[in-house]
Amino acid sequence: SSNFERLHRLDDPLRPVQWRSCVVGDSEFEEILFEKSVGEGIAKITINRPECRNAFTVKTVEEMERAFKNARDDSDVGVVILTGKGTEAFCSGGDVGVRSREGYVGENRIPRLNVLDLQIQIRRLPKPVIAMVAGYAVGGGHVLQLICDLTIAADNAVFGQTGPKVGSFDAGFGVSAMTHMIGARKTREVWFLTRLYDAQEALNMGLCNTVVPLDRLEQETVKWCREILQNSPTSIRVLKAAINATEANSDAQAMAGNSTLIFYATDEAEEGRKAYMEKRKPDFSKFRRLP
């Protein structure tokens, strides 16, 4: 083939991508997969708990934090994909089974809400993070897709917030990033009614950037990564920070996170959590609506 054809082929944004698995530190990841593309600047973090729709535990979040730090520090990496294992879910939020009255309990029995640190880490990461969403992106999993810089959705994607159903809420970026993205009217609808939205509705609202057939999801996401990788990394770094700076600040997130923590200790939040675990409708009727 001619030089032109070879060059053209090399630049083909739809050419196959080759992933290699990465270990960070001495221990293997247990709840995520961490990969990098061979010869290109793409890192991929996959929540690997498909049996519970990729709900995250304290450990999942800790592992994501380690992987994102590695991707930040690796100057060969220019863009990060965040996704979930399988086609059923991107992420279904915090693992309701390990939620206690004091937050999510990890292996050392210390409860915490470490997903809030992860949210900040993704926003501060000076490289674009792209959510690649197949299936459900709900609850804290939906907030993760909001936090990402871009979202590529498969046609089977389902978006929504479930907090008020399960005794939870994200009044930090879950509200500020969403309001910024889809406006206050729609944000109220999403949070107050806890409806689920299909990929096309999410696209119309501005919750995702594009919708593609499920079998083309990774190909399209990698194409977007490659287009970004051709551009000036410093321009992108500054633009990401500038776009984030137009939203509510991270101190508001800390305030909201504290209110969630206090709420988890109440009987009202417990009713939401217990009902979900017992696979029944929550009964919030005994909780008063104070004037």
Candidate ranges 38-46, 162-170, 236-244, 282-290; the one touching ligand S0N (CB under 6 A): 162-170
| Interaxial angle between packed helices 250-264 and 173-182, expressed in degrees from 0 to 180 and rounded to the nearest 10 | 130
DSSP string, 251-267: HHHHHHHHHHHHHHTSH
Radius of gyration of the chain (CA): 19
- Selected binder of ligand S0N within 21, 69, 76, 97 (CB under 6 A): 97
Distance of closest approach, residue 49 Cβ to ligand S0N, in angstroms: 9
- Selected binder of ligand S0N within 168, 176, 179, 187 (CB under 6 A): 168
* Residue 88: CB atoms within 10 Å: 16
Distance of closest approach, residue 196 Cβ to ligand S0N, in angstroms: 7
Q: Are 227 and 142 in contact (CB under 8 A)?
A: no
Nearer to ligand S0N, 104 or 224 (CB): 104
Find residue 83's DSSP bridge partners.
46, 132
Distance of closest approach, residue 278 Cβ to ligand S0N, in angstroms: 11
Per rule CB under 6 A, is residue 64 in the interface with ligand S0N? Answer: no
Per rule CB under 6 A, is residue 151 in the interface with ligand S0N? Answer: no
Distance of closest approach, residue 102 Cβ to ligand S0N, in angstroms: 11
Candidate ranges 133-141, 177-185, 222-230, 239-247; the one touching ligand S0N (CB under 6 A): 133-141
Per rule CB under 6 A, is residue 84 in the interface with ligand S0N? Answer: no
**Three-state secondary structure string covering 15-82:** CCCCEEECCCCCCCCCCEEEEEECCCCEEEEEECCHHHCCCECHHHHHHHHHHHHHHHHCCCCCEEEE
* Residue 85: CB atoms within 10 Å: 18
Give dist(CA 175, CA 79) in Å, integer: 25
Per rule CB under 6 A, is residue 94 in the interface with ligand S0N? Answer: yes
Distance of closest approach, residue 46 Cβ to ligand S0N, in angstroms: 17
Q: Which H helix or E strand runs over 136?
A: strand 136-138
Q: Give Cα 28 to chain centroid, integer Å.
A: 22
Q: Mask of contacts with ligand S0N, 173-202, x by CB under 6 A?
A: ------------------------------
Nearer to ligand S0N, 93 or 128 (CB): 93
| Interaxial angle between packed helices 184-193 and 173-182, expressed in degrees from 0 to 180 and rounded to the nearest 10 | 130
Nearer to ligand S0N, 12 or 30 (CB): 30
Distance of closest approach, residue 279 Cβ to ligand S0N, in angstroms: 7
Instruction: List contacts with ligand S0N (CB under 6 A).
Output: 52-53, 55, 89, 92-97, 104, 113, 115-116, 136, 138-140, 162, 166, 168, 170, 172, 257, 260
